[in-house]
Structure 1
Amino acid sequence: MSFVSRLLRRSFSAATATATATATAGRRPGSVSADLYRENDLKRLVQKFKTACDNERFRTKSGIYKATVRKLASAKRFKWVEEILEHQKQYNDISSEGFTARLIYLYGSSGMFENAQKVFDEMPERNCKQTVLSFNALLGAYVNSKKCEMVDELFKSLPEKLGVEPDLVSYNTLVKAFCDMKSYDSATMLLDEMEKKGINPDAITFNTLLYAYYWNGKFEEGEKIWTRMLSKNVVPDIRSYNAKLEGLAVKKKTNEAIELIEEMRSKTIEPDTFSFNSVFKCYVNDGNLEKLKQWYDDMEKSGVVVNRGTFGILVPFLLEKGDLEFALKLCKEIFSKRYLVNEELLQGVVDSLVKESRIEEAEELVSLGKTNKYRRYKLKLPAQE
């Protein structure tokens, strides 16, 4: 779930479920949603979705809206995103701010900020109130569309025009925008502004700043934010710790990273995939293959699921260290569990196997790549010397 999605969900999820009337004749909205989740033909998906929207109860289901828009946007079918969202304007729900805020958010999540702005601008003519709810949705749309400079402009001009007071969600979105623009000082200064207005920064506020500083090698600045967070009695969560772990990995502070993992566990915060990935980076920096493999075993025993980033860290290091057995094991795991990784990662293993005259195993990987259901990898056997 994206930053803005998490931020806005609590702001307007309740508002989107305005009038939940009895379903119109036909299939239940739940079964229709299940059908839409499974539909892979995008043209049929659009038609089915528009038909389903005639059901008033279906229109309260924000999850299927997000999933459908995400699927279309991922395929770069932005005209179809526009088609299904403009279709919503025929319903009476469009006079509900929560429903409209959802459309603004969905356009923004697709990078269609101009459409999001248009929906917002049309609200008065539909007798739809513009409160901090839709204001926040618009800010989020610009952040998701990578138009962060507009967030600062809107933040300065719109509240007075609309007669609204920015709230915690508003400020958190502005903090995110400044961090994305690498205007870290401006983002940090907002903490003082928030407190002057009686708005207490929360875990989202501090985590956004922690990621901005730690992930960009600004460890000392990150530590100041960490200290300030504790002074405000905001308890670090898994995201806070993961940000700091990444900062330690960037600074090649392996011992401190391991100590931080122990601190997490002492506070019953179990390391997740991102935590382990940072530890792996530490051991890659140290060139310590043995410790890396021990932590991978620990990860498996903990039931933590690997992700694409895990393979991107481990496989090149294993090849560098000549541990083809483990690299091959990971490749087979990629195929068996249907992970999607960069083709170059797998090709590197194929090349190394051929170099070591392990032709049959290399051919097996090439075959697995060609027959993979979710992505066809065009792996090739290199010419043998």
Structure 2
Amino acid sequence: MASPAAASPARRLASIFSSTKPRARPPKPSPEPAQAPKAPAGQAGTKPDERRESRNLNKILKVIFRERDPDKLVSRFIAESTASERFRDKHRVYEVAVARLASFGRHDAIAAIIDSQKPFIEASNVGFAARLVRLCGRASMPSHAAAIFHGLPPKHKSVMTFNALLAAYVDASDFDALATAFQQIPASHPTIVPTVYSYNILISALCQKPELSAALDVITLMEKRGVSPDIISFNILLNGFYNNDSFDDAKKVWEMMKERNVEPDEKSYNAKLRGLVSQGRVEDAVALIERMQKEGPKPDSVSYNELIRGYCKEGRLNEAKKVYDDLVKNECAPNRGTFHTLVPHLVEAGELDRALSCCHEIFSRKCKVQCSLLQGVVTALIAASRMENARKIVHLGRTNYYPRKGLRMPPHTRKDEGLKMPQPAGEDNDVEAENDSEDSVSYEDGYEEEEESKNAQ
């Protein structure tokens, strides 16, 4: 049980969770890593029946992934998840189904899917229960997440499901409920002791509030309760302060890291780069990258993406292109963030050959970008009467599984409105791309959940 000295800061932190709206959408912790199915003991391979079952399951999953009718999706999902334990082990199909239904605004359908899984919680591991809680958060259904948590059998009321509930509240931006849960659940369940991952979720939530300095108090609270903050804790703070132009508070974080002998990593510096670029201090960002190249840690793709963003904001496209060209030379590689930053500026500047080259690079690297990025290049190529180049991009999009409704040849017309192809409403063609975020907020690593999952088995 927490001491009175520790409880006082906790109460003060709870009061900070007012109903004030957050400044920005908080970073999402990454989903739990999928676990490969284990072969039975003493059996090296799989039997023909098992291979047949696996093929049948893959066919079922493809049908569900492609289903666009919400009611049919729910019906198929419930039927298959009820019939097959192997289906219930597939994390991805749960995420896609919930994301698609959320895009249609069908919270009733999401609730039906989640509730249909309740009979399997008792016999499943704690990771399955945590997954259901998190899915409710991603669908902005925090009260449903809480109901699932409180209805869990005692063996599943663990720090892992507690963290899943906290993360669900962050996903849904329900910070008041998070504060209450952080106070009350450990107090009523002595076996649930908040970990560094729990506190990192709390820090992340506080960084979305107007009074950002309160997030610093969590470090003191952690240490009073015997929990040591890690590099992720400090990187969340750095991102929060730099994203809100609070450079003075960010300086305090660097000092705290030095006092505790916590070595900053490339994500720590990327947070500062992001802040410098946001303030238009591109030359300072260049100097910081040069320092990283000499003293370490080495800049990564996100570091260079920030520099590209800074140059593009100032209209210095030639410098941005040079950074892009130097990525490989610097032992990095362009990623989704690189292309989303650079390609629209190339199209706007009329540098279609370079934009076309980037599209081919996207496909050769199997880098999943938003359809709207590729469609913008296609539309510009058609406007320049480069039909064959445009058809080639659409064809490559087909072979790389981009949906037809999101990437296609516009109608033949000279009118501007005929060349504009907006993203179709309700089409979740970027679900795959969401996992390729290069936001570099270290809180997303989710390593603690993985360790808890191992310990819970």
In the superposition, the TM-score normalised over structure 2's length comes to: 0.66
Q: Secondary structure at the match of 2:101?
A: coil
- Bigger mean CA offset, 25-34 vs 178-187: 25-34
The 5 A counterparts of 1:210-249 are: 210-249=238-277
Q: Is the 8 A contact 1:347 1:379 kept in 2?
A: no
Q: Is the 8 A contact 1:171 1:194 kept in 2?
A: yes
In structure 2, the CA distance between the partners of 1:348 and 1:33, relative to structure 1 (3 Å rule), is closer
In structure 2, the CA distance between the partners of 1:322 and 1:360, relative to structure 1 (3 Å rule), is closer
Q: CA deviation at 1:203?
A: 1.7
CA deviations on 1:303-335 (whole Å, 9 max, x unpaired) are 51321x433432343355554432343355557
Q: What count of residue pairs does the alignment treat as equivalent?
A: 366
The 5 A counterparts of 1:136-155 are: 136-155=163-182
Task: Please provide the CA RMSD for this pair.
Answer: 4.1
In structure 2, the CA distance between the partners of 1:129 and 1:73, relative to structure 1 (3 Å rule), is closer
Residue identity over aligned pairs, in percent, reads 30
Equivalent in the alignment of 1:74: 99
Q: Is the 8 A contact 1:191 1:201 kept in 2?
A: yes
CA distance in 1, matches of 2:292, 2:61: 37
Q: Is the 8 A contact 1:324 1:349 kept in 2?
A: no
The 5 A counterparts of 1:258-337 are: 258-266=286-294, 269-301=297-329, 302=331, 304-307=333-336, 309-319=337-347, 321=349, 323-331=351-359, 333=361
Equivalent in the alignment of 2:385: 360
Q: CA deviation at 1:378?
A: 6.0
1:132 and 2:159 matched: yes
CA distance in 2, matches of 1:94, 1:4: 28
Q: Which has the higher contact order (CA 8 A, sep 6+)?
A: 2
Q: Is the 8 A contact 1:95 1:127 kept in 2?
A: no
Q: Which runs of 5+ in 2 are unaligned?
A: 1-25, 417-457
Equivalent in the alignment of 2:407: 376
Q: Which runs of 5+ in 1 are unaligned?
A: none
CA distance in 2, matches of 1:55, 1:352: 48
Equivalent in the alignment of 1:27: 50
Q: CA deviation at 1:369?
A: 6.4
The letter of the residue matching 2:188 is K
Equivalent in the alignment of 1:160: 187
Q: Secondary structure at the match of 2:213?
A: helix
CA distance in 2, matches of 1:176, 1:352: 42
1:100 and 2:129 matched: yes
The letter of the residue matching 2:324 is Y
CA distance in 2, matches of 1:100, 1:292: 46
